[in-house]
Amino acid sequence: MKVTGTEAAARAVERARRDRTGALVFTIGTGCCESTAPFLYEDFWPGPDAEAVGEVGGVAVYAPEYLRALYPGDDGVVIDVIDDVAESMSIETEYGRRFVLRDAAGQPVVGPARQSCEVPEAVSALRSRGPQELPAALRRARMR
């Protein structure tokens, strides 16, 4: 895994460096609302299996072993920054910004067009549930 950063990300790091007195560190982690994302923290211990995988704006980027294994080689993960609300405790959230991961080209990724789905005949024969409408009894339901 090899991580680099955009110039905009480096500038955002510079602002954090001016505002904070402690040592800055990037950590890449996963889970829940942020999915896999970079977090910029002050005085943070990245963890026992974390290793440096790059630097952005002079700040080391750490990633845990399982993520390094998922992204072998150096085909490129790029840290960028966007103007957006974020939920993490990453420092840039204070400035209304958010560090994000991009692919090596730094380009927005566009998915393929919707593919037609072929359904086996045996399945077509099974009755599927039509468009759901809530039963009348449920419309006024309240838990407890």
Min dist CB 7 to another protein, Å, is 20
42 vs 22, 48, 89, 94, 142, CA distance in Å? 6, 18, 10, 13, 45
Cα 74 to chain centroid distance, Å, stands at 19
Q: Which is nearer to another protein, 7 or 87 (CB)?
A: 87
Query: Minimum distance from CB of 56 to another protein (Å)?
Result: 16
| Other beta carbons within 10 Å of 11 | 12
CB of 51 vs another protein, minimal distance in Å: 16
Contact footprint for another protein (CB under 8 A): 27-37, 39, 41, 44-45, 47, 66-67, 70-71, 82, 84-94, 96, 98, 100-103, 108-115, 117-120, 122-124, 126-134, 138, 141-144
Minimum CB distance to another protein smaller for 55 or for 71: 71
d(CA 22, CA 54): 20
Q: What is the dihedral of CA 115, 121, 124, 126, to 10 degrees?
A: -140
* Residue 36 neighbours by CB under 8 Å, 6+ apart: 28, 29, 30, 67, 101
Nearest residue (CB) to another protein, 30 versus 58: 30
Shortest distance, CB of residue 23 to another protein, whole angstroms?
Answer: 13
Closest-CA residue to 61 (of 90, 33, 82): 90
Shortest distance (Å) from residue 22 CB to another protein:
12
